[in-house]
Structure 1
């Protein structure tokens, strides 16, 4: 319709993107990546979407479900092997674990959601299925594989969460890892100053205890776990 005399022309309102569960989850992940998990609330996500919190409940039942959906969406980024190779099952299992850690640490403290969560989403189940398939293909007894997939998950979660603890104390524009290296250097000097008669091993192993290689430390712990899992194959007479 034309604008009546004496009135300003109205600008057409921008069309809103239809609200869907996928849009709600993607928006929540955007808040997570920018500010961390605690900032992800129904109210905050609704604000980002330009709507009210009540409209979100048609797509997610509560904040806990939203967090679980976020984690499953993040898990879609994990690259999994196409098929198990019985001769390389340990290497493949290690690669999957490194992939999970890479993805989790790229999304702030999303691993907090994974800790203590029994996976039900399709992408998390795909990760568990891949891990179980690799162990079974390598001759790991089914009972051990079932227990080991949970143990591996707890280790990966804990390591990813620890990364966020180191960076959470950073204030201002300081680089998180520069802050961490500075703090670690202070700890190293403190350990060196300890009385060696009381703490002989700590003083003697200062450099090893305060090694800055976070990825190397994670890989070492992972190798310990994988060797333990592989020992059950040997006990069963496998490879």
Structure 2
């Protein structure tokens, strides 16, 4: 029989503290953690193991909420679509407002490193993505653009902003991390084009600086003007 704990010579052992129960994970927490990672290390830096480590758990606990990395990337893209600002729709300014939506979407993707890569080849079908599609369609239809042209134009605009944002993310890679290196690369390209044989490539040689020069924002705006301004020829009213 054990001695009562109050008797002399009996050493009382303190009870082991109970480990606090872990807060159950949610899909929203997983997506939020993945977005923090992608902004720093890009899509390739996102893994179930790395996300699980942030919550001091194992990767298997994530699969109850996200089936795969592909699904996670889709959820991440859907989440950032919710950050795209939509102006109060004013059909009288439909072309400028289409540009505003495109600029906002482009900037959101730029802010998330190479997440745009996940959107290429994917049909955006989540509520946040569809609200953007609905806004673009509403504006173009109100401007007199035929429904099929408006639908295809919306697809082209999505493709343009995602492809451009993804290309910009490539310049954030290790090889071109410093702005000075980007400038140096530009000057090297100009020099290369200006040394081309004039009898074979007269215009590439002559307009080398026009091809290489200009900021990324100005180039994006030109592409947007070509897409949105080109819709004028289809307007029926």
**Fold equivalence (TM over 0.5):** yes
Contact 1:181 1:212 in 2 (8 A): no
Offset, 1:158: 1.0
Aligned length: 228
Q: Return the TM-score normalized by structure 2.
A: 0.89
1:77 aligns with 2:90: no
Offset, 1:178: 2.6
- Moved segments of 4+, more than 6 Å: none
Q: Which of 143, 152, 156 is matched with 1:151 structurally?
A: 156
Aligned-partner SS, 2:175: coil
Taking a change above 3 Å as real, the CA distance of residues 94 and 230 of structure 1, as seen in their structure-2 partners, is: same
Structure 1 match to 2:57: 51
Structure 2 match to 1:206: 208
Offset, 1:14: 5.7
Taking a change above 3 Å as real, the CA distance of residues 193 and 10 of structure 1, as seen in their structure-2 partners, is: farther
List aligned pairs for 1:5-154, cutoff 5 A.
5=11, 13=19, 16-83=22-89, 85-154=90-159
Q: Which has the larger radius of gyration?
A: 2
Could you tell me which runs of 5 or more consecutive residues in structure 1 were left unpaired when the two chains were aligned. none
Q: Return the TM-score normalized by structure 1.
A: 0.89
Contact 1:41 1:63 in 2 (8 A): yes
Aligned-partner SS, 2:172: helix
- The 1-side partners of 2:16 and 2:192 are apart by 69
- The 1-side partners of 2:209 and 2:119 are apart by 32
Once the two structures are superposed, residues 117-175 of structure 1 have per-residue CA deviations (whole angstroms, 9 ceiling, x without a partner) of: 1112111111111111111111111111111111111111110111012221437xx53
Structure 1 match to 2:166: 161
- The 1-side partners of 2:70 and 2:30 are apart by 13
CA RMSD of aligned residues (A): 1.9
Could you tell me which runs of 5 or more consecutive residues in structure 2 were left unpaired when the two chains were aligned. 1-9
